[in-house]
Amino acid sequence: MKLKGIEYDVIEKPPNKRGGTSWIWEEGYCLKNRLDTDAKLTWMCKRCYTKNRVIRTHLMTTTNNSIVHMKQKHFIDKNGAVPRRDVRILQQQAAEQQAKTAAAVRTWTKLDLTRFQELLIRWIVMMHITFS
């Protein structure tokens, strides 16, 4: 298989240090560079490859990048399908957060500076705080 100008062999993923393999290998191909035998193994997404999408490959020093790809692009994790968040729900949450922020700003802008100074001085006197 030729990918990005490099010849690869599709191989079976060797077990990890604990003797198992990650679920990510069921969702991708394990590629080994034909010319550079010392190169790290590469993971390629089967779904992207079969749908002729942009091919996603990740060097396999860790499976984290592949897991993130599957979750973000295909809504899949080790337990199966990840529920998609509806765009309207996200927009509603953003609007609620903006409303909370605006309310907080309005609360602070209503602050009466003269009243605050009076209360601060009263507190300093009552607590016997010295300035020396």
**Residue 108 in tokens:** 């602070």
Segment 4-40, tens digit of pLDDT: 777 888 888 777 777 778 888 888 888 888 888 778 8
Tokens 């996603």 belong to: 56
**Residue 120 in tokens:** 């601060």
Segment 94-117, tens digit of pLDDT: 788 888 888 877 776 677 788 889
CA 115 → CA 70, 112, 124, 125, distances in Å? 57, 5, 14, 16
pLDDT at residue 54, rounded to an integer: 66
pTM of the model: 0.55
Give the separation between CA 56 and CA 74, rounded to whole angstroms: 12
Query: What are the sequence ranges of the domains in the chain?
Result: 2-81, 87-126
Give the separation between CA 1 and CA 9, rounded to whole angstroms: 6
